[in-house]
Structure 1
Amino acid sequence: MAAPSSSQTLPNGLRDVQRFITDHNSDGKAIFSKDIPAKASWQEISPAANFFLAYTTKGFPVDLNAPKAGEVPADVQKYEIDLKSPPDGLSLSNGTVLRFVDFAPDKEAYMHRTESIDYGVVLEGSLELLLDSGETRIMNRGDVCVQRATMHAWKNVTENSGWARMMFVLVSSEKVVVGGQELGENLPGRIGGGEPTKDW
């Protein structure tokens, strides 16, 4: 029998997120993990954005096994550490990040680049994707961007000044080299420190 939904509406008017993690019982049957609550833990980055670090992994392939029988699986243990002390930055070296971002109305983030390939899906509202070349695209609910370690920014252009939400999956990548120039991570307003530019 399905458990009742406990999702609520956040102060920004968007529905809260539940994140369900699966596991295995001693018979090898799939079950829902009880190690981490389903309720989202939102972090206010600035008045312009809220983050929910929904999952992280380290290493490839990911180790899903428990160190010993009855212990918390290795990947869940590592995620618990990241939940308590969020990584400084957006992507993880030799890892993956699943993150939800709520964008405040009419706000634009700083230009930035991560050493990762990112899959960004619009869940609510409309956002403008701006590239450092000057090219732009409007993304609406259900649209996806494959962000390949390029300099970019996001602007919430939702009608009626509503909040927007995206879900991102970031997978670490090699540094991009173009014309002999190495294009590494560029985060002017780091999550864990530094002075943000524009609204972030």
Structure 2
Amino acid sequence: MSATKGPITKFPAEDLRPARRYISTHNKDGKGVFIADDDGDHHRLMVQGQAVANIIYSTKGNPIDMNNEADIAYAKNNEPAIHVPNGSVARLIDFAPGMESPIHRAMSLDYGVVIEGKFLFSLDSGESKVMLPGDCSVNRGCMHKWKNLDEEKSGRMLFILLDVTPLTVNGEVIGEYLGDLAGDYADVAH
């Protein structure tokens, strides 16, 4: 984990309720049972303690192989980078009060859902939208940033990232750009 220099020192942020993860599978009789009731396998402080990420689950391949719980082993043993090539990532991020992310682009299709708080979703064109709990974004490889608009309380978002084929814009293939977030993923292998 990155060194903490801000108000968040662990998942969850101190002023947000713990988030639970429940994973199901089948028992010997073919009935659904829960095999996990926890807060995830991978947590990472980000942006010098201004945010913390909790990986809910990640997968490789499409379709996903759930036989012999191969997907469960992959999710437990692999902390993903920003996204998983040919896979998916479900990530909760707690943002400190007033925190604004660096501008960045993951080469993925990103679903963003506000869980708690009020956020500003801004694009490099200057356009932006205010998002409230339950609001969803679908970011298709655009440069963007997030800001927790509450100056007093942490906010939480859920992001689902899916891998994409190379994206061509105006005749040029565009790439991932993490900017100041690059260090937060530097020791995570793709």
Do they superpose with TM above 0.5? yes
Give, as a single letter, the amino acid of the residue that structure 1 aligns with 2:152.
S
The verdict on how the C-alpha distance between 1:76 and 1:40 changes in structure 2, with shifts beyond 3 A counting, is closer
Match of 2:123 among 131, 139, 145: 131
Alpha-carbon contact 1:127-1:140 (below 8 Å) kept = yes
After TM superposition, the structure 1 = structure 2 runs for residues 56-135 of structure 1, keeping only pairs within 5 Å, are 56-66=58-68, 73-82=69-78, 86-87=79-80, 89-135=81-127
Rg larger in 1 or in 2?
1
Q: Which runs of 5+ in 1 are unaligned?
A: 1-8, 67-72, 195-200
In structure 2, the partner of 1:70 is: none
In the TM superposition, residue 15 of structure 1 has moved relative to its aligned partner by 0.6
3-state SS, counterpart of residue 185 of structure 1: coil
Write the distance in 2 (CA, Å) between the matches of 1:79 and 1:11. 23
Alpha-carbon contact 2:12-2:19 (below 8 Å) kept = no
Alpha-carbon contact 1:120-1:168 (below 8 Å) kept = yes
In structure 2, the partner of 1:44 is: 45
Give, as a single letter, the amino acid of the residue that structure 2 aligns with 1:20.
Y
Further displaced range: 42-51 or 101-110: 42-51
In the TM superposition, residue 50 of structure 1 has moved relative to its aligned partner by 0.6
Alpha-carbon contact 2:40-2:54 (below 8 Å) kept = yes
Alpha-carbon contact 2:12-2:52 (below 8 Å) kept = no
Runs ≥4 residues deviating over 6 A:
none
In the TM superposition, residue 10 of structure 1 has moved relative to its aligned partner by 4.6
Match of 2:31 among 9, 29, 36: 29
Q: Which runs of 5+ in 2 are unaligned?
A: 1-10
Structure with greater proportional helix content? 2
Structure with greater proportional strand content? 2
Say how many residue pairs are matched: 173
Alpha-carbon contact 1:16-1:40 (below 8 Å) kept = no
Q: TM-score, normalised by structure 1?
A: 0.81
Percent of matched pairs sharing the same residue: 37
Write the distance in 1 (CA, Å) between the matches of 2:165 and 2:50. 30
Q: TM-score, normalised by structure 2?
A: 0.85
In structure 1, the partner of 2:133 is: 141
Write the distance in 2 (CA, Å) between the matches of 1:11 and 1:185. 28
What do residues 152-192 of structure 1 show as CA deviations (whole Å, max 9, x unaligned)? 0001102x521110001111111211111111111112222
Alpha-carbon RMSD = 1.7
Write the distance in 1 (CA, Å) between the matches of 2:177 and 2:166. 12
What do residues 28-87 of structure 1 show as CA deviations (whole Å, max 9, x unaligned)? 111111xx5523453222321011001000000000001xxxxxx1001101112xxx23
